[in-house]
Structure 1
């Protein structure tokens, strides 16, 4: 585990984007292609701003994403497919990508996605941490055991409140009750994990993550078990963590 604390979210996004591009560039050089998993949400905006400017052979990158709401149309402002099309795919020439589709025949969609994802290892996963310490949509208490690459989960009220707070929905009642998410075990199979977690609203989640042992009640603690995990914070998101602890990691 490595923790990097930057002054601002903008600086965080820029440094994380450079790191991510280096990982993908190495994978392309070694194997001729790279496979990437992307997270979404307000906390990733500065990362994407710089990431799409990276000097990469994007045609050799295959993209997956972490999660999507069940029964939410792609045209909805909160759709993660819409988010990635507008903030990523519209700017880079990625030829192969697979979306999580929460509409129609959910089971068939998941089976097709699982088959595609497991064709080869993932070189890099961008994994955010939620205000309730969720990883993707694996809310507490998270399932650390399932081997399914993607699965349907029920969203916790605390998770719904975050989506409302970020402006994606007008109220908790408007947030879908379920989502399709990449599982914890599948996320941990990624060769490298980078987490961009800025803003003061994430400070408690970061404190819980770094100051506690592994527990399903704080899903993000599982990331500390990964041998190639780098956590990028800004001063606000790092503000609740004991400074001595930050100096040790």
Structure 2
């Protein structure tokens, strides 16, 4: 596990994008293409904005994403499909080789089966995995299911997760947040060859503290990321503010 602490979200995004760019370029050079997994939310703004400026042959990149609300239209401001199209896919200088979006509308069983078939064709080379205010990864809220071997599943969202969505401005009230989502499972996330987490902002400070002060536990889902053999965590001074600096220094 590698930990890098930057001054603020902008610097974090810039440095994380450099690392991700190098890895994507390496994969393209060595194997002819790369499979990229993206997360969403306010914590990913700066990283994605910097990543799209990099000199990458995006026509050789296949993109997947982590999760989507159930029964939420793609036109809704909170839709993660909308987020990724507007903040990443549509801004690239050349189209991606392919983009696989999680669709929470229609026949959910069929949607999950199709995604599972695609993602299991080959490993994900690089996964950008955010960490929520309740330490969730994707929409695997505590207590997260560490045992399922499914690739995607339907989950119920807890109130703290819903409150984060309101706090970030995606919904006007807790009641407007959908109660369920389709999420990539913890098991499937861990199959990625390289995982990078970009976690800026003060609201994530408790989650980062809990990640470092607890052993691996499904009550703090992000703790499972510490077991991955190629994991890098980018945090800023604000998100690192409650963590024991000695613990952080031991992993830098």
Q: Shorter-chain TM-score: which interval?
A: over 0.9
The equivalent position to 1:163 in structure 2, one of 158, 162, 165, is 165
Task: Tell me the CA shift for residue 244 of structure 1.
Answer: 1.2
Structure 2 equivalent of residue 150 of structure 1: 152
Give the Cα separation in 2 of the matches to 1:148 and 1:242.
35
Give the Cα separation in 2 of the matches to 1:28 and 1:186.
22
Task: Tell me the CA shift for residue 91 of structure 1.
Answer: 1.3
* Residue 77 (structure 2) pairs with residue 114 (structure 1): no
Give the Cα separation in 2 of the matches to 1:175 and 1:95.
32
TM-score normalised by length of structure 2: 0.98
The equivalent position to 1:192 in structure 2, one of 191, 194, 204, is 194
Give the Cα separation in 2 of the matches to 1:247 and 1:108.
46
Task: Tell me the CA shift for residue 95 of structure 1.
Answer: 2.7
Structure 1 equivalent of residue 220 of structure 2: 218
Structure 1 equivalent of residue 141 of structure 2: 139
Give the Cα separation in 2 of the matches to 1:49 and 1:27.
21
SS in 2 for 1:90: helix
* Residue 247 (structure 2) pairs with residue 245 (structure 1): yes
SS in 1 for 2:88: helix
Unaligned runs of 5+ in 2: none
Structure 2 equivalent of residue 130 of structure 1: 132
Matched residue count: 249
Give the Cα separation in 2 of the matches to 1:95 and 1:24.
13
Give the Cα separation in 2 of the matches to 1:112 and 1:90.
23
TM-score normalised by length of structure 1: 0.99
State the Cα RMSD in Å.
0.5
Unaligned runs of 5+ in 1: none
Regions of 4+ moved over 6 Å: none
Give the Cα separation in 2 of the matches to 1:166 and 1:121.
32
SS in 1 for 2:91: coil
The equivalent position to 1:175 in structure 2, one of 169, 174, 177, is 177
